[in-house]
């Protein structure tokens, strides 16, 4: 087992999609490290995502807000964190279009509050400490039909979500340059996999196929995203957290670009097969709807730095990852029913009508 210098780690947003996979990996892989998961449990946070590890001795859950500086101070005092894995965020682009200030609050103010508490608590003994900020490729803006985002690509965010993430990235780097706080930022492409909240394209369409509901495709479905299985993302974070260099940025992605329409066709094909429906049944559910405002055309990551410097590469082929994801949703109907009841219905009707 890999050793860790970080004996007490704060994970923020550990009850969300990526955060829950990250928390599970760290709790199981590093049994001698205390893992404290601080999560506000917004609509996107769900303790059911962590049922299998919630009783582990090295795991502690705290319900709270990263904007609450007093709480953060208390937690740093109590647990003497030497590492922070910062995942908590408002993460859905469409929600950022309807409520941008919620994104400024958590993503910008929350990140700055956390940075400040870490800087004050670690002041004078930065050695062996690390503030790791989990960010997105959306900060780089949009690509045309060719080219890739590298770590040198200038920031050009276009949605309130990506603008808030870009701002938080800038704050993280500012704390490195101004105060010497040891930080790392990684910018990852679109994740998919189990526990993905069904407001995002893939789980939303899985849920709708199960229920024979329309599959809403924005515009013409020509937008391209670069999809990575969530377990490959959290393995990359683990590697960077332990082997990456403070002050550096790492792009994470697996060269797996799909047009939205093509990925949904592939999803329909696999689901018809698994549900025993005639070929072509689910494709008939595809419905083209009004485009997202400011819809970025294409994202694609160049992960050369991460693969050459740290030896990371994705473990899973996409077809296999998608099959595992579909199987997980089919086997976890109860989880899906819980997260799609109540407020989800209101959100869905507001976004898509019915
Ligand atoms: P998510 O929306 O599934 O989870 C976010 C979690 O943060 C939830 O558990 C929520 O309760 C918690 N949270 C929100 N506001 C909080 C606050 N003020 N205080 C404490 N906790 C709060 O998000 P995700 O998709 O798992 O994304 C996690 C991180 O990874 C985000 O920073 C996101 O920008 C980044 N990211 C996501 C993707 C992706 O494809 N999902 C890709 C690249 C980067
Ligand atoms: O690139 C990384 C980002 O990926 C993360 O930073 C974000 O947190 C994450 O939500 C994701 O952003 P996207 O906007 O790319 O993901 P989403 O699943 O919302 O949409 C994927 C594509 O599908 C996008 O082009 C919009 C389109 N779409 C989405 C929904 C929800 C549809 O066509 N119909 C839909 O109903």
Torsion over CA: 89, 90, 96, 100 (sign): negative
- Catalytic residue, from 161, 192, 195, 299: name it: 161
Q: Which ligand is nearest to the CA of 199?
A: 2
- Catalytic residue, from 39, 82, 137, 226: name it: 137
- Catalytic residue, from 39, 90, 138, 169: name it: 138
Distance 98 CA to ligand 1 centre (A): 17
Decide whether any atom of ligand 2 lies within 6 Å of the 225 Cβ: yes
Cα–Cα distance between 235 and 28 in angstroms, integer?
13
142-186, pLDDT tens digit by residue? 999 999 999 999 999 999 999 999 999 999 999 999 999 999 999
Nearest protein CA to atom 37 of ligand 1, as residue:
136
Distance 117 CA to ligand 2 centre (A): 32
Q: Looking at residue 354, what is its pLDDT? A: 73
Q: Where are the domains of the chain?
A: 8-192+229-254+299-317+344-352
Burial class (CB in 10 A: 0-12, 13-18, 19+), 137: buried
* pLDDT per residue as tens, the chain (354 positions): 444 456 999 999 999 999 999 999 999 999 999 999 999 999 999 999 999 999 999 999 999 999 999 999 999 999 999 999 999 999 999 999 999 999 999 999 999 999 999 999 999 999 999 999 999 999 999 999 999 999 999 999 999 999 999 999 999 999 999 999 999 999 999 999 999 999 999 999 999 999 999 999 999 999 999 999 999 999 999 999 999 999 999 999 999 999 999 999 999 999 999 999 999 999 999 999 999 999 999 999 999 999 999 999 999 999 999 999 999 999 999 999 999 988 999 999 999 987
Q: Which residues line ligand 1 (CB under 6 A)?
A: 12-13, 15-19, 39-42, 44-45, 65-67, 87-91, 106, 110, 134, 136, 165, 188, 190-191, 197
Give the DSSP per-residue string, 151-211: TTSPP---SHHHHHHHHHHHHHHHHHHHH---EEEEEE-EEESTT--TTSHHHHHHHHHHT
Instruction: Please give the number of the atom of ligand 1 that sits closest to the Cα of 191.
Output: 40
Distance 123 CA to ligand 2 centre (A): 39
Q: Looking at residue 6, what is its pLDDT? A: 63
Nearest protein CA to atom 14 of ligand 2, as residue:
93
Nearest protein CA to atom 4 of ligand 1, as residue:
16
Cα–Cα distance between 151 and 149 in angstroms, integer?
7
Q: Looking at residue 342, what is its pLDDT? A: 83
Burial state string for 140-179 with b = 16 or more CB within 10 A and e = fewer than 16: bbbbeeeebbebebeeebbbbbbbbbbbbbebbeebbeeb
Q: Looking at residue 140, what is its pLDDT? A: 98
Probe target for ligand 2 pocket from 201, 256, 258, with the most ligand atoms within 8 Å of CB:
201
E strands present in 101-161? 130-136
Active site residue 161: yes
8-192+229-254+299-317+344-352 CATH choice from 3.30.420.10, 3.40.50.720, 3.40.50.300, 3.50.50.60:
3.40.50.720
Distance of CA 85 to the CA centre of its chain: 12
């Amino acid at each position: 087992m890999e050793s860790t210098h970080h004996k007490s780690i704060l994970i923020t947003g550990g009850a969300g999609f990526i955060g829950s996979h990250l928390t599970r990996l760290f709790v199981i892989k590093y049994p001698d490290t205390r893992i404290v998961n601080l999560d506000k449990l917004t609509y996107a946070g769900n303790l059911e995502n962590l049922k299998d590890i919630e009783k582990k001795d090295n795991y502690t859950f705290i319900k709270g807000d990263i904007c609450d500086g007093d709480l953060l101070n208390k937690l740093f005092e109590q647990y003497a964190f030497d590492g922070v894995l910062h995942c908590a965020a408002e993460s859905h682009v469409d929600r950022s279009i309807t409520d941008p200030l919620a994104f400024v609050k958590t993503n910008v103010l929350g990140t700055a509050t956390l940075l400040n508490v870490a800087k004050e608590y670690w002041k004078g003994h930065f050695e062996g400490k690390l503030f790791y900020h989990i960010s997105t490729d959306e900060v780089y803006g949009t690509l045309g039909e060719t080219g890739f985002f590298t770590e040198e690509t200038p920031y050009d965010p276009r949605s309130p979500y990506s603008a808030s993430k870009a701002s938080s990235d800038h704050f993280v780097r500012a704390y490195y340059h101004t105060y010497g706080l040891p930080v790392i930022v990684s910018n990852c492409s679109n994740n998919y996999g189990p526990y993905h909240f069904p407001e995002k394209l893939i789980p939303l369409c899985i849920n709708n196929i199960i229920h024979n509901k329309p599959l809403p495709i924005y515009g013409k479905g020509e937008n391209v995203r670069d999809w990575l299985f969530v377990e490959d993302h959290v393995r990359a974070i683990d590697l960077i957290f332990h082997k990456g260099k403070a002050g550096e940025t790492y792009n994470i992605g697996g060269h797996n670009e799909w047009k939205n329409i093509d990925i949904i066709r592939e999803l329909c094909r696999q689901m018809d097969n698994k549900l025993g429906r005639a070929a072509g049944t689910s494709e008939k559910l595809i419905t083209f709807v009004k485009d997202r405002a400011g819809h970025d055309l294409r994202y694609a990551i160049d992960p050369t730095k991460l693969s050459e410097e740290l030896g990371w590469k994705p473990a899973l082929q996409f077809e296999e990852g998608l099959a595992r994801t579909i199987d997980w949703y089919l086997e976890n109907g109860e989880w899906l029913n819980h997260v799609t009841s109540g407020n989800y219905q209101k959100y869905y009707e507001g976004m898509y009508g019915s």
